[in-house]
Amino acid sequence: MTVPVIVQGLGPMGLRILEGALRDPALRVLGGVDVDPDLVGRPLADLVPGAPPGLVHGCLAEAADAHPPGTVVLQAIGSRVAAVVPVLDEAAGLGLHVVSTCEELAWPYARHDGLVGCVHHAALASGVTLVATGVNPGFLMDRLVVALRSATHDVRRIRVERVQDPRPRRLPFREKVGVGLARAAWDDLAATGTFGHVGLEESARLVAAGFGWEIERFEGRLEPVQPDPDGPVLGTLQELWGETADGRRLELHFAAHSGVAASYDAIRLDGTPPISLRFDGGVFGDDATVAAVLAAARVIPRAPRGLVTVLDLPLR
Amino acid sequence: MTVPVIVQGLGPMGLRILEGALRDPALRVLGGVDVDPDLVGRPLADLVPGAPPGLVHGCLAEAADAHPPGTVVLQAIGSRVAAVVPVLDEAAGLGLHVVSTCEELAWPYARHDGLVGCVHHAALASGVTLVATGVNPGFLMDRLVVALRSATHDVRRIRVERVQDPRPRRLPFREKVGVGLARAAWDDLAATGTFGHVGLEESARLVAAGFGWEIERFEGRLEPVQPDPDGPVLGTLQELWGETADGRRLELHFAAHSGVAASYDAIRLDGTPPISLRFDGGVFGDDATVAAVLAAARVIPRAPRGLVTVLDLPLR
């Protein structure tokens, strides 16, 4: 049986998700939603060849009119919890599940506990599941790390590295890591507190929860990569680390700059046995985020209800 | 809350599992069981320092006397379904969950469907979960491969390689792959049909199920590794492959011989995006199987009931 889906947010990522969903035999695309007046009312198939007949809707309520039970909204509208809470509420009210790419929502309990508590109860009341995923946060630096507990125990140190050349990535990602900015502009953006890859703290908290580690305080740094002091910023380096009271250590390292020699992802767990794995060439984030969203949509029928995290999603 | 466990089978693997369970803060060891008359009646702590007071029991019924609800049997008694079915039945009758290292049980539906149907119903009737896991089958060549669906979609080819030097492994494993045998002895064992690594077909079927691929027929080969025709056999090479009707291909390659230059595990998925990951130095199987068993025991309270597979286990 196929899972009916509606794609919400038809920007670069939403269009990729729509294309992926159309090729996925386990899913069935019902329609698309966006708030952009230039998109609303246009045939969806104008945006992505092969899309089903129908126009782009301006809101979920319209798109979900007469939707079958179990419909899942595949949502790519923003990185911040504050931006998605209203539409999560709307979806829950309409009886729709949501798989969101919202990075902050991947582990909302630390920074947005009050805000998301209401959403959780709305989802429970409607019997729907709301979950955020993507390649990162959502998989490479968190869910996959936790999955590796099946291959090593007695883990004393976890180190995850995601190192990538951002140039092949979609524009919003390149902007988020400051590729090509002047140093002063980078500094101004960094000072806003909303710059850089969103989700490192969420990944760290997912890993800690998955390992049952209590980490009282995370420390981190956000730095520009600027080898030539007179040249532009090439991108951003972000690190986050924390320790348990008994000295077990978690380290996340995220680098996205155009000086990267070769992209890679790596996970090292100092446990019994020690394990060290590496993705040669890295995992291309835009495509992998589509895969993460589609994978979550396929398993939503068997997921627990409420606002959950990727740690709660079944494997199939 | 800790999960109470009983270790059944106190051979090399069972003792490692017992040691691991004693160090795992999420588990609580109640006792140990074996049928070996040299072990029954001995203090468990004589076998593994730090084990709780109490003697090795000869049967589950005795060990499980007054066990708390939700007790999990960690079972390492054999690779063949026929050998474990009676004790699975016994465990289910006693209301005990089981995490077994029995390789054939990892995907019992192809070769032992009739035999395990009864076990499944007994487990359902008792409200317990029976599952088989280990590093392989159970994780590296199957569950982990399926987990990677969150990072790539539209997969057209799956190739998994596990290449290892068996010499550091426990004796039963070295015997199972024929390290040091004369060629005639290797041939005789291969002709029995019960020689070599058990579980490659089970892994293949788990992967196919996890990807929703229908593979009508698997093909395979089992070969001795014997570079010097007058010398001993160094170990074994096993391969298994299959295709779907529309040409998607699954390939598993398992090599265990003393001529291996460096152990490694590798997974390649030709999808969108392509992903290629490698465990440098491989994953040391005996320790990793302990990790897989402990990880399964921790999540059993939240697993579905009945005879299930690793694909059905939650992540936490």
Percent with pLDDT over 70 in chain A: 100
More confident residue, B198 or B288: B288
Q: What is the mean pLDDT of residues A151-157?
A: 98
CA distances from B177 to B76, B104, B190, B195, B286 (A): 19, 16, 10, 7, 15
The 3-state secondary structure of chain B, one letter per residue: CCEEEEEECCCHHHHHHHHHHHHCCCEEEEEEECCCCCCCCCEHHHHCCCCCCCECECCHHHHCCCCCCCCEEEECCCCCHHHHHHHHHHHHHCCCEEEECCHHHHCCCCCCHHHHHHHHHHHHHHCCEEEECCCCCCCCCCHHHHHHHHCCEEEEEEEEEEEECCCCCCHHHHHHCCCCCCHHHHHHHHHCCCCCCCCHHHHHHHHHHHHCCCEEEEEEEEEEECCCCCCCCCEEEEEEEEEECCCCEEEEEEEEECCCCCCEEEEEEEEECCEEEEEECCCCHHHHHHHHHHHHHHHHHHCCCEEECHHHCCCC
Choose the closest CB to B143 out of A280, A310, A315.
A315
**Partner-chain contact A139 B150, CB within 8 Å:** yes
Residue B12 backbone dihedrals phi, psi, to 5 degrees: -55, -45
- Cα distance between residue A229 and residue B295, in whole Å: 49
- Cα distance between residue B245 and residue B156, in whole Å: 12
Q: What is the mean pLDDT of residues A123-137?
A: 97
Choose the closest CB to A144 out of B25, B147, B284.
B147
The domain ranges of chain A are 3-133+288-312, 143-282
Residue-wise pLDDT for B7-40, tens only, equals 999 999 999 999 999 999 999 999 999 999 999 9
Q: For residue A113, is pLDDT > 80?
A: no
- Going by pLDDT thresholds of 50, 70 and 90, the confidence category of residue A243 is very high
Q: What is the mean pLDDT of residues A285-299?
A: 97
- Cα distance between residue B96 and residue B94, in whole Å: 6
| Minimum CA–CA partner of A279 in chain B | B277
Residue B208's CB is within 10 A of a number of other CB atoms, namely 21
- Going by pLDDT thresholds of 50, 70 and 90, the confidence category of residue A310 is very high
- Cα distance between residue A185 and residue A190, in whole Å: 9
State which H helix or E strand residue A286 sits in. helix A285-299
DSSP A57: B
A245, with CB counted inside 10 A (0-12, 13-18, 19+), is exposed
**Can you tell me whether residue A160 is helix, strand or coil?**
strand
| Minimum CA–CA partner of A140 in chain B | B151
Residue A163's CB is within 10 A of a number of other CB atoms, namely 18
Whether A174 contacts A195, CB under 8 Å: no
**Partner-chain contact B287 A272, CB within 8 Å:** yes
Distance from CA of B92 to the nearest CA of A (A): 24
**Partner-chain contact B294 A25, CB within 8 Å:** no
DSSP A67: P
Distance from CA of B250 to the nearest CA of A (A): 18
- Cα distance between residue A54 and residue A40, in whole Å: 11
Q: What is the mean pLDDT of residues A268-293?
A: 97
More confident residue, B253 or B192: B253
**A-B interface: how many C-beta pairs under 8 angstroms?**
151
Residue-wise pLDDT for A23-75, tens only, equals 999 999 999 999 999 999 999 999 999 999 999 999 999 887 878 999 999 99
**Partner-chain contact A290 B313, CB within 8 Å:** no
Distance of CA B27 to the CA centre of its chain: 20
Contacts of B316 in chain A (CB under 8 A): 146, 209-210, 311-312
**Can you tell me whether residue A144 is helix, strand or coil?**
helix
- Going by pLDDT thresholds of 50, 70 and 90, the confidence category of residue A172 is confident
- Going by pLDDT thresholds of 50, 70 and 90, the confidence category of residue A287 is very high
Contacts of A134 in chain B (CB under 8 A): none
Choose the closest CB to A153 out of B20, B273, B275.
B20
Whether A77 contacts A87, CB under 8 Å: yes
**Partner-chain contact A296 B271, CB within 8 Å:** no
pTM of this structure: 0.96
| HSE (side-chain half, CA atoms, 13 Å) at B217 | 1
Torsion sign over Cα A117, A143, A151, B109 = positive
Residue-wise pLDDT for A246-278, tens only, equals 999 999 999 999 989 899 999 999 999 999 999
**Partner-chain contact B151 A272, CB within 8 Å:** no
Candidates A153, A159, A246, A268: best to mutate against B (most CBs of B within 10 A) is A153
- Look at the block and give the residue holding tokens 């050998």: B83
| Minimum CA–CA partner of B287 in chain A | A273
- Cα distance between residue B23 and residue A158, in whole Å: 18
Whether A211 contacts A158, CB under 8 Å: yes
- Domain pair B3-133+288-312 / B143-282, same fold: no
Distance from CA of A134 to the nearest CA of B (A): 8
Length of chain A: 316
Those residues with Cβ within 8 angstroms of residue A244's Cβ, 6 or more apart along the chain or in another chain: A213, A214, A215
pLDDT at residue number B182: 94
- Cα distance between residue B43 and residue B57, in whole Å: 10
- Going by pLDDT thresholds of 50, 70 and 90, the confidence category of residue B66 is confident
Nearest residue to A199 (alpha-carbon basis) of A180, A177, A181:
A177
- Cα distance between residue A51 and residue A72, in whole Å: 17
**Can you tell me whether residue A11 is helix, strand or coil?**
coil
Distance from CA of B85 to the nearest CA of A (A): 24
Those residues with Cβ within 8 angstroms of residue A101's Cβ, 6 or more apart along the chain or in another chain: A13, A17, A75, A76, A132, A133, A134, A289, A293
Q: What is the mean pLDDT of residues B222-249?
A: 95
Q: For residue A106, is pLDDT > 90?
A: yes
- Cα distance between residue A16 and residue A75, in whole Å: 12
- State the fold for domain B143-282: Dihydrodipicolinate Reductase; domain 2 (3.30.360)
Candidates B1, B140, B150: best to mutate against A (most CBs of A within 10 A) is B150
Choose the closest CB to B288 out of A147, A151, A296.
A151
- CATH number at B3-133+288-312: 3.40.50.720
Residue type, A120: H
Per residue in A210-226, is it b (16+ CB within 10 Å) or e — as a string? bbebebeebeeebebbb
Nearest residue to A210 (alpha-carbon basis) of B255, B28, B295, B112:
B295
Contacts of B210 in chain A (CB under 8 A): 315-316
